[in-house]
Amino acid sequence: MNGALAAFAEHGFNGASMRDIAKRADTSLSNVYNYFPSKEDLLVAVLKDTNGELLRRTNRTVAAAKPNPTDRLRAAVRAYVGFVVDAQPASIVALSELRYLGGERRKAVVAARDETEALFLRLVEEGVESGEFTTTRPHDATRAVLLLCATVANWFRPDGELSREAVAELQADFALALVGARNN
């Protein structure tokens, strides 16, 4: 499945060929079909795996953070951005290739993605209730926060000006600005 991930990240779902995927996995074309009945099923597996890992990581980090909304949202953004930086190809695929899935396959992946969105939304709403966040549009602010986290995959360069940690801090600051945090 790692070979597929790399191929999808490099060439996109439609640009990646099953032959290339097989080669990257050091196996034969028809062996790939032994494990995955179609190319779409391969993409589903990749996307589910990525979304699951992101959710687990974010959940764990938030649970370990201080209980106030500001610190919790900060922790969540740090976790998300940390994941994106650590698993950049997977994050690129998750961000850009979902659109090529339709029907039931799409639904399954969207459900997984929505769990993470729900987690972030809860954090934002907690902050609004406690008065730490002043946004009047928690849903829209949450979407903006998630987009900023996810799109790091499209521009981050490991050898760039910003370190892993610096990017996470930067995006956390942006997130708090978006929800209208009073003290950050």
Residues at the site binding its own copies, with contacts judged by CB under 8 A: 11-15, 96, 99-100, 137, 140-141, 143-144, 147-148, 151, 155, 170, 174, 177-178, 180
Residues 86 and 91: their CA atoms lie apart, in Å, by 9
Rounded to 10°, the helix 88-96/138-150 angle is: 130
* Residue 20 binding target from its own copies, DNA, none, CB below 5 to 8 Å by type: DNA
Q: Which does 99 bind (CB under 5 to 8 A by kind): its own copies, DNA, none?
A: its own copies
For residue 68, is it left (φ>0), alpha (ψ between -120 and 50) or beta? beta
Binder among 1, 24, 33, 170 for DNA (CB under 7 A): 33
Q: Is 147 in the site for DNA (CB under 7 A)?
A: no
Q: What type of residue sits at position 151?
A: T
Transcribe 6-41 into DSSP letters.
HHHHHHHHHH--HHHHHHHTTS-HHHHHHH-SSHHH
CA–CA dist 58, 100 (Å, integer): 26
The encoded tokens of residue 47 equal 């996307």
Residue number with CB closer to its own copies (15 or 52) = 15
Which residue, 22 or 167, has its beta carbon nearer to its own copies?
167
28 binds, among its own copies, DNA, none (CB under 5 to 8 A by kind): DNA
Indicate which of its own copies, DNA, none lies near residue 77 (CB less than 5 to 8 Å, by partner kind).
none
Residue 143 binds which of its own copies, DNA, none (CB < 5-8 A, kind-dependent) = its own copies
Cα-only R_g, the chain? 18
Shortest gap between Cβ of 91 and DNA (angstroms)?
22
For 107, the token pair is 């639904």
Q: Name which position in 10, 12, 24, 40 contacts DNA (CB under 7 A).
A: 40
Which secondary-structure segment (H or E) carries 65? none
The one among 29, 118, 147, 166 contacting DNA by CB under 7 A: 29
Tell me which residues touch DNA (CB under 7 A): 16-20, 27-31, 33-35, 37-40
